[in-house]
Amino acid sequence: MESRVFDAALAVYAEHGWSGFNFDAVSRVAGVGKAAIYRRWSKRTDLLKETLKARWEWVSAIDTGTLNGDLIALARMMFDAHAGPCGDVGFHLRSEPRRFAELRAFADPYRDDLVHEGRRIVRRAINRGELPASASPGLIMDVVVGAVINHVSSTPERLRSAMIAKRDQFIADLVGLVGAGTSDA
Amino acid sequence: MESRVFDAALAVYAEHGWSGFNFDAVSRVAGVGKAAIYRRWSKRTDLLKETLKARWEWVSAIDTGTLNGDLIALARMMFDAHAGPCGDVGFHLRSEPRRFAELRAFADPYRDDLVHEGRRIVRRAINRGELPASASPGLIMDVVVGAVINHVSSTPERLRSAMIAKRDQFIADLVGLVGAGTSDA
């Protein structure tokens, strides 16, 4: 039952965001009675928090040995999360905590994890001499993560399967631009 | 009356998105009776469409004479739109048309305008010899627009005023990276 509720809760959150995330909708999509859901999760915040923990893959430690490899791995992770069937979860998690304070306690850590992973990637690249000491982790992350998300979110529906087929080429071009743009800084 | 309704409608859409965009909320925020709003706009789509036309500044033609200048102007435009008090309008316009078909007819053109402006900027830069003929307008736009939006949307609330104060430095660094990253491509 838990597994069906998590699947349904992720789909409902992806489709409607926090303002449409309620036990009625989750119950309907999951085919599980509302009373049973309430007994297990008494608040919507608990249900969403546990759903994200169970179903929303996030930054796993990246360490391929090169800056290029690390940025490709990071870009793929972001691409797959946002282009997937519940990709709107990623967009909601980025914008909703500003509007709904009750989401911050468990949504902000997703952003913070990404920031920390970016800092580690850039610090290692500086140590290996791949980046100048002045390289800005924040800027590099904004470029890589931002470009992937912009690419996925601004591609019209009819071009979506072509976009997915060309994922690796897009990422190679993007990471190539970042490498050339930061190496002589 | 129209002006108050547009202000209220923009604020309601920024805060709640399409699923919370209704005549009750707009009427309450505007202090204008619902019947009067209905008489002027019979459908929510009409109200949102006209509100965006009246209140959501979008890409105005950019042509500063250099690639650097054009990208700075574009980045500023994106920064100011998304960091402003109704900045969430920008986020909704990017993600909601995929979920709500009724928005596409008037929301998609905002994306298309941006794509066309990006193509014009890159084409002129190629003609001036500032970019190689192989430069990809799509990638350059994803990097500039995506990085600005990522920067604005991932900055925590407590760092927001510092982010706004450092806008021009962030944009100079970003455009510098893009220039270095594309010139030897």
- Please give the structure tokens belonging to residue B78: 């994106």
Say what the pLDDT of residue B172 is: 97
Say what the pLDDT of residue B132 is: 93
H/E element, A82 = helix A67-83
Say what the pLDDT of residue B184 is: 54
What torsion do the CA atoms of A89, A94, A99, A104 make, to the nearest 10 degrees? 90
- For the segment B126-143, the average pLDDT, to the nearest whole number, is 94
Q: Residue A150 and residue A147: Cα distance in Å, rounded? A: 5
Residue B148, pLDDT above cutoff 90: yes
Q: Residue A170 and residue A163: Cα distance in Å, rounded? A: 9
Distances (CA, A) of A76 to A108, A120, A164, B112, B177: 21, 17, 11, 25, 21
Band (B60; pLDDT cuts 50, 70, 90): confident
Question: pLDDT, tens digit, for every residue of A19-58?
Answer: 889 999 999 999 999 999 999 999 999 999 999 999 887 6
Q: What is the 3-state secondary structure (H, E, C) of A104-143?
A: HHHHHHHHHHHHHHHHHHHHHHHHCCCCCCCCCHHHHHHH
Burial letters A64-76, b for 16+ CB under 10 A, else e: eeebbebbbbbbe
Distances (CA, A) of B2 to B30, B33, B40, B46, B50: 10, 12, 9, 13, 10
Residue B79, pLDDT above cutoff 90: yes
Across the interface, whether the CB atoms of B145 and A143 are under 8 A apart is answered no
Q: Residue B142 and residue B178: Cα distance in Å, rounded? A: 11
Q: At what angle do helices B44-55 and B2-16 cross, to 10 degrees?
A: 100
Across the interface, whether the CB atoms of B179 and A181 are under 8 A apart is answered yes
- For the segment A68-86, the average pLDDT, to the nearest whole number, is 93
**Does B168 contact chain A (CB < 8 Å)?**
no
Percent with pLDDT over 90 in chain B: 69
Percent with pLDDT over 70 in chain A: 98
- For the segment B20-28, the average pLDDT, to the nearest whole number, is 94
Q: Residue A51 and residue A12: Cα distance in Å, rounded? A: 11
Say what the pLDDT of residue A185 is: 46
Is residue A11 classed as helix, strand or coil in its secondary structure? helix
Q: Residue A167 and residue A165: Cα distance in Å, rounded? A: 6
For residue B74, give the nearest of B141, B153, B167 by alpha carbon.
B141
**Does A132 contact chain B (CB < 8 Å)?**
no
**Does B109 contact chain A (CB < 8 Å)?**
no
Band (B84; pLDDT cuts 50, 70, 90): confident
Question: pLDDT, tens digit, for every residue of A128-150?
Answer: 999 999 999 999 999 999 999 99
Across the interface, whether the CB atoms of A88 and B111 are under 8 A apart is answered no
Is residue A46 classed as helix, strand or coil in its secondary structure? helix
Q: Residue A11 and residue A117: Cα distance in Å, rounded? A: 27
Question: pLDDT, tens digit, for every residue of A93-122?
Answer: 888 888 888 998 888 888 888 889 999 999
What torsion do the CA atoms of A142, A97, A116, A139 make, to the nearest 10 degrees? 20
Q: Which of B95, B166, B168 to mutate to test the interface with A (most CBs of A within 10 A)?
A: B95
Give the HSE-up count for residue A82: Cα atoms under 13 Å, Cβ half-sphere. Answer: 26
Say what the pLDDT of residue A149 is: 94
Q: Residue B30 and residue A175: Cα distance in Å, rounded? A: 47
Whether this model's pTM surpasses 0.80: yes
Say what the pLDDT of residue B97 is: 85
The residue to which tokens 């069937």 are assigned: A85
Question: How many other C-beta atoms lie within 10 A of the C-beta of residue B36?
Answer: 12
Across the interface, whether the CB atoms of A98 and B88 are under 8 A apart is answered yes
The residue to which tokens 């990522």 are assigned: B150
Backbone angles phi, psi at A60, to 5 degrees: -100, 150
Say what the pLDDT of residue A183 is: 80
Answer whether B90's CB lies under 8 Å from B57's CB.
Answer: no
Q: Which of A104, A131, A136, A150 to mutate to test the interface with B (most CBs of B within 10 A)?
A: A150
- For the segment B122-148, the average pLDDT, to the nearest whole number, is 95
- For the segment B73-85, the average pLDDT, to the nearest whole number, is 92
Say what the pLDDT of residue B92 is: 86
Give the HSE-up count for residue B33: Cα atoms under 13 Å, Cβ half-sphere. Answer: 3
